[in-house]
C-alpha cells in the first residue's frame, strides 16, 4: 500500500509518499479503503514536532479518516483507550495513560488503506458526503466533550466561542446550538464572521469580547484571548480550554477566580460514548460539516500550508490519489 509517512520533523517537505507493507484484517477487524482525510492543527504539530514531546516517529499522519468498508461509507473514531485500565473501564478513555489519537500516537489515515477494529467504524448517514464526513470526528468529539461533558451546558445558557471559524470553533457553535444555547463567537475578518453567522452564532470582532457576559467560554487560542475570555464570564461561569494555538502561558488573577467563582476546565478529545452521542447529532442533522477546500492527498503539504496561514474557515480535507 501507499502512505505518507513522517520520518523526521520539519516543513511540508517531510510529508513523503512511500510504499509500505499492508496487512490482512484479523478477527474483529475490517479493511477500510481510504477516500478522504480531514486535517486538524494536530497534523501540523505532528509534522513540526513539539519541544519536549516524543511523537515516536515514523508516523503516518491523519486523524480524521473516511472511506469504504464492504461497499459502505464510514468514518473512524479518532481516538481510543487501552480498554483494560480503571479509567477505560469507567468509560473515561481520554484519561487512559495509553490513550491513542489516530495520526498522533498511532498511525493515521494518509494511506491507501487502513485495517482497524470494526467497532471504530461510524456509518455515514444519507445526505452527508465523504469529504464532509472526514472533516468531522476529531473537532466534533473535542467540542462535544468540552461543552456537554466538561462545561455541562444547558438550554438557555449563553456561550462564547473564541476563534469561531476554526475547526473546533465551527463544531462548538453547532454543539452549543444543538443544546439550545445562545451562541456568540469571535473571528478576525468579515468572511469568517459571515460563516459564523450562517451557522447560527452572533459574530464579534475580538476587541468586542466582554460587551455581554456569558455563562461559558470555549478557549482554543490561549495567550492572545485569555484575559478577555476570563473577563467575559459572568459570576459562576465556566471557561473550558482544549487548545492553545496562540500560546500556552497565560496570567491568572486569583482574586477574579475566587471572587467571581469561575471554573477553569481543561479538556482533551473525549470518550467513546461522547463520540457516539456526537455522531447521533450529525445523523439528526444538528451538526453539519463546513469544508473550506479539498486538496489531493499527494499534496498534503499544500493543505498544511493553508492551515498554517490561518486562512481556513472550517476544515481542509485531502482526497485519495496516492495510487495515481
Ligand atoms: Zn486504558
| DSSP class of 124 | P
Per-residue pLDDT, averaged over 310-321, amounts to 95
Torsion 77-79-84-85 (CA) sign: negative
Separation of 3 CA from ligand 1 center, angstroms? Answer: 28
Separation of 268 CA from ligand 1 center, angstroms? Answer: 15
Per-residue pLDDT, averaged over 298-317, amounts to 94
pLDDT by residue (tens digit) across 22-52? 999 999 999 999 999 999 999 999 999 999 9
pLDDT recorded at residue 212: 81
Separation of 80 CA from ligand 1 center, angstroms? Answer: 8
Separation of 95 CA from ligand 1 center, angstroms? Answer: 7
| Structural domain spans, the chain | 2-136+289-319, 140-266
Per-residue pLDDT, averaged over 69-82, amounts to 98
Separation of 164 CA from ligand 1 center, angstroms? Answer: 32
pLDDT by residue (tens digit) across 259-273? 999 999 999 999 999
Per-residue pLDDT, averaged over 185-201, amounts to 96
- Rounded distance, CA 278 to CA 283, Å? 9
By DSSP bridging, strand 214-219 and strand 182-186 are unpaired
Indicate if the pLDDT at residue 210 is higher than 80: no
Architecture of domain 140-266: 3-Layer(aba) Sandwich (3.40)
Residues with Cβ within 8 Å of 179's Cβ and at least 6 positions away in sequence, in order, are 147, 148, 153, 154, 155
pTM, two decimal places: 0.96
The confidence band for 290, taking pLDDT boundaries of 50, 70 and 90, is very high
Indicate if the pLDDT at residue 211 is higher than 90: no
Superfamily of domain 2-136+289-319: Medium-chain alcohol dehydrogenases, catalytic domain (3.90.180.10)
DSSP track, 24-78: ---TTEEEEEEEEEE--HHHHHHHH--TT----SSB---SEEEEEETTEEEEE-S
Separation of 30 CA from ligand 1 center, angstroms? Answer: 22
pLDDT by residue (tens digit) across 107-152? 999 999 999 999 999 999 999 999 999 999 999 999 999 999 999 9
| Residue 229, helix vs strand vs coil | helix
pLDDT recorded at residue 209: 84
Amino acid at each position: 500500500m501507499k502512505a505518507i509517512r513522517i520520518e523526521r520533523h520539519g516543513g511540508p517537505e517531510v510529508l513523503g509518499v512511500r510504499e509500505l507493507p499492508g496487512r490482512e484484517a484479523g478477527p474483529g477487524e475490517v479493511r477500510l479503503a481510504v477516500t478522504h482525510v480531514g486535517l486538524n492543527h494536530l497534523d501540523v504539530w505532528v509534522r513540526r514536532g513539539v519541544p519536549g514531546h516524543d511523537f515516536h516517529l515514523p508516523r503516518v499522519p491523519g486523524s480524521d479518516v473516511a472511506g469504504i468498508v464492504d461497499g459502505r461509507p464510514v468514518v473512524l473514531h479518532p481516538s481510543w483507550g487501552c480498554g483494560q485500565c480503571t479509567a477505560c473501564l469507567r468509560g473515561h478513555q481520554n484519561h487512559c495513560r495509553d490513550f491513542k489519537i489516530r495520526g498522533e500516537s498511532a498511525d493515521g489515515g494518509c494511506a491507501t488503506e487502513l485495517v482497524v477494529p470494526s467497532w471504530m467504524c461510524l456509518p455515514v448517514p444519507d445526505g452527508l458526503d465523504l469529504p464532509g464526513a472526514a472533516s468531522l470526528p476529531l473537532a466534533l468529539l473535542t467540542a462535544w466533550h468540552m461543552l456537554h461533558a466538561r462545561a455541562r451546558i444547558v438550554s438557555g445558557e449563553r456561550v462564547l466561542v473564541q476563534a469561531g471559524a476554526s475547526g473546533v470553533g465551527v463544531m462548538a457553535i453547532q454543539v452549543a446550538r444543538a443544546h439550545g444555547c445562545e451562541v456568540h463567537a469571535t473571528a478576525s475578518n468579515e468572511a469568517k464572521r459571515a460563516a459564523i453567522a450562517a451557522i447560527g452564532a452572533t459574530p464579534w470582532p475580538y476587541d468586542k469580547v466582554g460587551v455581554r457576559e456569558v455563562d461559558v467560554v470555549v478557549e482554543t487560542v490561549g495567550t492572545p484571548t485569555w484575559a478577555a475570555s476570563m473577563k467575559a464570564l459572568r459570576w459562576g461561569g465556566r471557561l473550558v480550554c482544549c487548545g492553545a494555538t496562540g500560546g500556552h502561558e497565560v496570567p491568572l488573577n486569583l482574586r477574579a477566580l475566587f471572587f467571581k467563582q469561575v471554573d477553569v476546565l481543561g479538556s482533551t478529545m473525549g470518550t467513546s460514548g461522547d463520540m457516539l452521542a456526537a455522531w447521533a447529532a450529525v445523523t439528526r442533522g444538528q451538526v453539519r460539516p463546513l469544508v473550506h477546500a479539498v486538496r489531493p492527498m499527494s499534496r498534503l503539504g499544500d493543505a498544511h500550508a493553508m492551515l498554517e496561514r490561518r486562512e481556513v474557515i472550517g476544515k481542509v480535507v485531502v482526497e485519495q490519489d496516492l495510487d495515481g
